[in-house]
Amino acid sequence: MLRTVLYLILLCIRSCLFALTRNNVTASELSNDCTTVSPSLMIPIFSSAPRMIAQSSTTFLVEQEPIDGYFCDCLISFVTPATLGSCQLELIIPQGYQIGACGATQMYVWQVNPMLDPTSCWNDAPGADGLLGTVLLKSNSTTEVVGSFVCQSSVSFRVGIRAGDAASCSFEQTSSEGFVVRYGC
């Protein structure tokens, strides 16, 4: 009986550690006050190619040319082991981090439902549940909390440029730079 219980405990620990590493959370982060999770999906969607399915990548891209009617939003999804409590979406841009053609770009971040599908495109992108927050992306160092929300096993967002602004912005997402979800603080 004891051997069976120990075996089940060992299986549980292994599956938890596998789930944490699969979801971009390392075991070393568990000892910190906060846990940081990087996106599991990042998909640009284009109004000019509304049925095009872009591959998930590490490049964050938003663009808008209102005169031409061209828009590119970015869908971002996170998987967290947290099911209760509060999470927050942050944008972390350290000093010297390469940002493409941003200037000072106002971005809107909407929480979306349901969980993103890797085959999302402009025409079938999930609708916004509500505005989570705004963030002013500058070409210099910034760490901004976009907004807080109730943690779920998966959360998704749609990021776009303020209506009417002609702007473009891109950067390479890493595990600690760009958009991250933090919880357990």
Of the spans 25-39, 67-81, 89-103, which averages the highest pLDDT? Answer: 67-81
The reply to whether 11 and 65 lie within a common domain is no
The per-residue pLDDT for range 140-183, each reduced to its tens digit, is: 667 889 999 988 888 999 999 877 777 888 888 988 889 999 98
- Phi and psi, residue 19, nearest 5°: -65, -40
- 17 pLDDT band, cuts 50/70/90, is very low
Q: Structural domain of residue 23, as residue ranges?
A: 1-31
Contact 45, 121 (CB under 8 A): yes
The reply to whether 10 and 76 lie within a common domain is no
Q: How far is CA 162 from CA 17, 21, 138, in A?
A: 40, 35, 14
The reply to whether 150 and 77 lie within a common domain is yes
- CATH of residue 56: 2.60.120
The reply to whether 45 and 109 lie within a common domain is yes
